Amino acid sequence: MWKKGLLSRFLGVVLRPFQYLDAIDRIVQILRLVSSLLVVLMGLILTLGAFLSPEKLYMGKFTTSKKSIANGLFELLSNSVVNSNMNGGLGLTTSEIVILNQYTSSQVVNVPEYITSAVYGWCQLGKPDDVADNLNNTDEVECQYIGPSYVFDYRVLLGKMRLNIVLDYAYTDSLQENDSMNGDSASANSTPSAHIPDYVRYINNARSLKMNMLFLVYFVMVLQVFMLCLMLWYYCVKGRSLNLRKEKILVHLLSFCSLVVFMFSLVATINLFAIQHNIRSHVKQELQNFGFAYELGKRWFSCLLQLSVFSFISCLLWSGLEWCVMDPNQNQRRFSHIEAGVLALRQSETRPKNSEVRNLPTKGLLNPDAALTAPSRETSRLLVVTRSKSPPCGYMSASELSLSSSPRAVKTATTFKF
């Protein structure tokens, strides 16, 4: 028996926020609950999901196809040979073409198929050359964790893939300008293009911004979980207390939190998209001729967009309804006919429309057989508020009492005895 009682109490506590709601309130409650849960879910996918599966939930993909890079290098080197007038402007011979083809193919041996820029690091996917043509072999994935401040540094990765020839040709002007300013101090570095001051400043700013925006996503999730707890508390006290102060405080607090969640999620979405868009623009401008390309992660950014959309819906359901649509005096009018500890009738039934104050003798009300005498100045009066409507069942009004008691005499008295 005690188990059933404990279970019933537990169910009563769990189901209390969902009881005593009309159809409209229940629909609004469901929409609020679903939108809040989806915001938390999208945040978990963006952070925890990207940590567990970086090769699928990535922010960007750096395409490094061997064939495309080899073709790009071949076009670049062949144009350089032709423009140098080494053959008197007659173009490349067959042997030169073969040599260039072999050289470019040897430069892309260690290049993977593509590299993904994840939230906390990067992953490269590729097959060894000896099994590249075997369709039964799966791709090899190698991931490296760096941290929440990771930003895709494509110049450093090109140096790690031993594509310094691409860096030298792609950033010739930048290297010459940097060498003239620093006295050729940067030429001794293995990847000098990655240490150009402008590029270093750009990468550092992007890392700082990306880490702050990622922490903002963390804060949005925590604040949304806090809102879920407040929401359940709000629906536990909604319409159950005569003191509306607690209900009003919870409503305004939830509305403010929903507005903060929407603003922060929107700021994080815009800045994270801007970071990846800038990387794509730099890669397209600097490395497109070599066969490289950078594209945004559709899955991850679709989840990020849904985070902003659901936070906007939650903001509309709280701030929009409570501050812009709902009547702030609705709850006050709902409980206007209720006194402390007493449930009265409706206002239209309890308050008389045409009330008047009459001075009636008090003694005659208790002793109708007594003689009626003229009231003196010392005689106390009883102030009775009468209504135009009929009195409660079983009682008579003062006028009916006076008519029914005539021609009996009514005496006044200085005291009213019960």
pLDDT tens for residues 247-280?
Answer: 889 999 999 999 999 999 999 999 999 999 999 9
**Span 207-232, average pLDDT:** 96
Q: Are 308 and 264 in contact (CB under 8 A)?
A: no
Q: Residues 368, 373, 374, 379: is their CA dihedral positive or negative? A: negative
Taking all residues of the chain, what is their mean pLDDT, rounded to a whole number? 75
| pLDDT at residue 226 is higher than 90 | yes
Report residue 185's pLDDT band, with 50, 70 and 90 as the boundaries: very low
Report residue 413's pLDDT band, with 50, 70 and 90 as the boundaries: very low
Report residue 192's pLDDT band, with 50, 70 and 90 as the boundaries: low
Report residue 327's pLDDT band, with 50, 70 and 90 as the boundaries: low
| pLDDT at residue 344 is higher than 50 | no
Listed ranges 21-35, 262-276, 382-396; the one with the highest mean pLDDT: 262-276
Report residue 163's pLDDT band, with 50, 70 and 90 as the boundaries: confident
d(CA 111, CA 71): 14
Q: Are 190 and 164 in contact (CB under 8 A)?
A: yes
Picking from 19, 5, 40, 26, the residue whose alpha carbon sits closest to that of residue 310 is 40
**One-letter amino acid for residue 252 of the chain:** H
Q: What pLDDT, on a 0 to 100 scale, did the predictor assign at position 417? A: 38
List pLDDT tens digits, range 4-17. Answer: 677 777 677 777 77
Q: What pLDDT, on a 0 to 100 scale, did the predictor assign at position 127? A: 56
Q: Are 43 and 217 in contact (CB under 8 A)?
A: yes
| pLDDT at residue 180 is higher than 70 | no
How far is Cα of residue 258 from the mean position of the Cα atoms in its chain? Answer: 8
Report residue 386's pLDDT band, with 50, 70 and 90 as the boundaries: very low
pTM (2 d.p.): 0.70
User: What H or E segment, with its residue span, contains residue 145?
Assistant: strand 140-145
Question: Which two tokens mark 114?
Answer: 């593509």
The domain spans of the chain are 38-64+111-351, 352-405
Instruction: Measure Cα distances from 193 to 146, 177, 281, 286 in Å.
Output: 21, 11, 17, 12
Report residue 221's pLDDT band, with 50, 70 and 90 as the boundaries: very high
d(CA 283, CA 296): 12
Q: Residues 235, 239, 240, 242: is their CA dihedral positive or negative? A: positive
Listed ranges 5-14, 55-64, 403-412; the one with the highest mean pLDDT: 55-64
DSSP-derived 3-state class of residue 357: strand
Listed ranges 15-24, 91-100, 334-343; the one with the highest mean pLDDT: 15-24
